[in-house]
Amino acid sequence: MSKVDRRIPKSQEAIKNALIKLMTEKSFDEITIQDISDKANVNRGTIYPHYTDKYDLLDKLMEEHINKLKETSEWACEGEWIDATLVFFEYFERNYLFFSTMLASKGAPSFRSKFLEFLIEEFKDEVDKGKNQGLSEDTIVKFAANAYVAVLESWLKEGMPSPPQSIAKELGILLERIV
């Protein structure tokens, strides 16, 4: 049985955190691999075995969070809207720096698109056809997903002025009415 080098995940985490912190300080285009390695306190050569360049690093970071949301969605969305929304907002709170950087500061516009795509897919199976008779399912789903993102962005920009439980309750009630 081969031994796992615990430095690898530790270095990867430092590199990802460095990128997020740098994106709060300057635009992504201005960030260099050297900036990332300096901020992460790793040798520049430590980055390349894991990421081909800063774009690959950003893509993998975004993909990691979307995948975690998908995993969470598999069991969270089996319950009521309020409960499912709370699970997500607790995740957003735990990962505030990432989400505030990716959404609120417009650090990576492609993340907003990927996140919106994820929500649209998740909401598709939730549309109540009886309650929304005569309305386009596509319009309902896009409306709900965009509203969700707008509320999240606002909550993050304002520094999470209310606890996840409060915002999840309000958003959950609204989603129940809409979808």
Give tens-digit pLDDT for 37-87: 999 999 999 999 999 999 999 999 999 999 999 888 776 666 688 888 999
pLDDT digits (tens, 9 = 90+) for 127-176: 887 888 899 999 999 999 999 999 999 999 999 999 999 999 999 999 99
CB atoms within 10 A of CB 52: 12
CB atoms within 10 A of CB 107: 21
Helix axes 164-178, 137-157, angle to 10 degrees: 160
Instruction: Mark whether 42 and 100 lie in a shared domain.
Output: no
Instruction: Mark whether 45 and 68 lie in a shared domain.
Output: no
CATH (domain of 6):
1.10.10.60
Instruction: Mark whether 80 and 155 lie in a shared domain.
Output: yes
Check pLDDT > 70 for residue 91: yes
Indicate whether 57 belongs to any domain. no
Contact 81, 176 (CB under 8 A): yes
Indicate whether 56 belongs to any domain. no
Check pLDDT > 80 for residue 93: yes
Averaged pLDDT, 4-19: 87
CB atoms within 10 A of CB 81: 20
Indicate whether 156 belongs to any domain. yes
Question: What pLDDT score was predicted for residue 77?
Answer: 63
Instruction: Mark whether 47 and 70 lie in a shared domain.
Output: no
Host domain of residue 44: 1-51
Instruction: Mark whether 13 and 81 lie in a shared domain.
Output: no
Question: What pLDDT score was predicted for residue 127?
Answer: 83
CA dihedral over 10, 12, 17, 22, signed as positive or negative: positive
Instruction: Mark whether 29 and 104 lie in a shared domain.
Output: no
- What is the 8-class DSSP label of residue 77? T
Instruction: Mark whether 148 and 167 lie in a shared domain.
Output: yes
Instruction: Mark whether 92 and 111 lie in a shared domain.
Output: yes
Instruction: Mark whether 72 and 34 lie in a shared domain.
Output: no
Instruction: Mark whether 47 and 74 lie in a shared domain.
Output: no
Instruction: Mark whether 98 and 148 lie in a shared domain.
Output: yes
Residue finishing a domain among 10, 25, 51? 51
Tokens for 95, please give them. 């990962």
Check pLDDT > 70 for residue 1: no
Indicate whether 114 belongs to any domain. yes
Instruction: Mark whether 119 and 153 lie in a shared domain.
Output: yes
* Band (8; pLDDT cuts 50, 70, 90): confident
DSSP H/E element including 43: none
Number of domains present in the structure of the chain: 2
Indicate whether 106 belongs to any domain. yes
